[in-house]
Amino acid sequence: MDFGLVLQTDPPASQVISLMKRAERNGFRYGWTFDSAVLWQEPFVIYSQILANTQKLHVGPMVTNPGTRTWEVTASTFATLNDMYGNRTVCGIGRGDSAMRVAGRAPNTLARLGESMDVIRDLAEGREAVVDGNPIRIPWIKDGRLPVWMAAYGPKALALAGQKADGFILQLADPFLTEWMVKAVRQAAAEAGRDPDSITICVAAPAYVGDDLAHARDQCRWFGGMVGNHVADLVSRYGEHSGMVPEELTAYIKDRHGYDYSHHGRAGNTSTDFVPDEIVDRFCLLGPAEAHIEKLRVLRDLGVDQFALYDMHDAREATIDAYGSDIIPSFG
């Protein structure tokens, strides 16, 4: 199992770079960031410095979207980083939540997302693609490689991930829901004539190593609110009891009342008071190192290839170090 670190690109950028260097020293192989241009600093600028200051770390957004940049710009940006640092980027992509809504736009449609994934990958790897009806190719790209990993929750999005994505990003660490969603992605891949096992499975969630569970829960409760944004979209689309989405995912948002993106992804977010302890425990990894190892082994046995650790709390360095000394070595 691989391990990744997920950060927000809060200023100063030097702190983000320092934490990514620390992660690589501790055995992490991937460095991810949020991508929301209004809320945080521009991640692709920072990726260049992360890559320059690490040796093997792969970097990318968790996640970008097809709406805030044109597709040829996104492809060229990834390709430039790959040309400079040796194919060490991954394009995590989704419909867009904070990046789109904070700018007053609706998330992208799945049709647009699916088309963008093909175009961005083709352009970044040097092939011709059609953008807004015009065939284009980026002529300077040689031997480019860009895996495209898609974030998804709902049945149609999971099917799209299975049909088109090189990897599937699931932003929660609940074993029941992981099993259900990985099965849906792989079934869609098989029905599309793809090898289901060729899709990399990445589970992303906050982790807090320590014995004070009450404090750890409060530091990670924001995550249930962030996931709740996507769940609310699913409930509005499919209904709460439609059978299309497991009630293990949808039931907890019944007391949700709006969301303030100015506190997005931050401990103490007052928009997440509706998130019960049970959801924090299910969606996150909390407790002593042994508890993390036990849950990660369950996820690994369900087919998870990477655990990406959201590190937005008051023990960022300690968590990175604890994973490096006590947890990652247990997974070879």
Tell me what pLDDT residue 164 has: 98
Q: At what angle do helices 175-191 and 155-164 cross, to 10 degrees?
A: 50
291 pLDDT band (50/70/90 cuts)?
A: very high
The pLDDT of 33-56, averaged and rounded, is: 96
Residue 241 has pLDDT above 80, yes or no: no
More confident position, 242 or 225: 225
Position 167 confidence tier, pLDDT thresholds 50, 70, 90 = very high
DSSP category for residue 313: S
pLDDT number for residue 171:
96
- Contact between 80 and 50 under an 8 Å Cβ cutoff? The reply is no
For 28, list phi and psi in degrees, rounded to 5: -75, 140
Query: What is the model's pLDDT at position 54?
Result: 98
Cα distance between residue 315 and residue 208, in whole Å: 8
Asked if residues 32 and 6 have their Cβ atoms less than 8 Å apart, the reply is yes
pLDDT of residue 120: 98
- Give the chain's mean pLDDT: 94
pLDDT in tens, 14-41: 999 999 999 999 999 999 999 998 999 9
- 260 pLDDT higher than 80: no
* DSSP codes joined into one string, 126-182: T--EEETTEEE--TT--S----EEEE--SHHHHHHHHHH-SEEEES---HHHHHHHH
- Give 95's DSSP letter: S
Prediction pTM value:
0.94
What does the longest C-alpha to C-alpha distance in the chain come to? 57
249 token code pair: 């995912």
**DSSP-assigned letter for residue 192:** T
Q: Pull the structure tokens for residue 315.
A: 């023990």
Q: Which pLDDT value is given to residue 107? A: 84
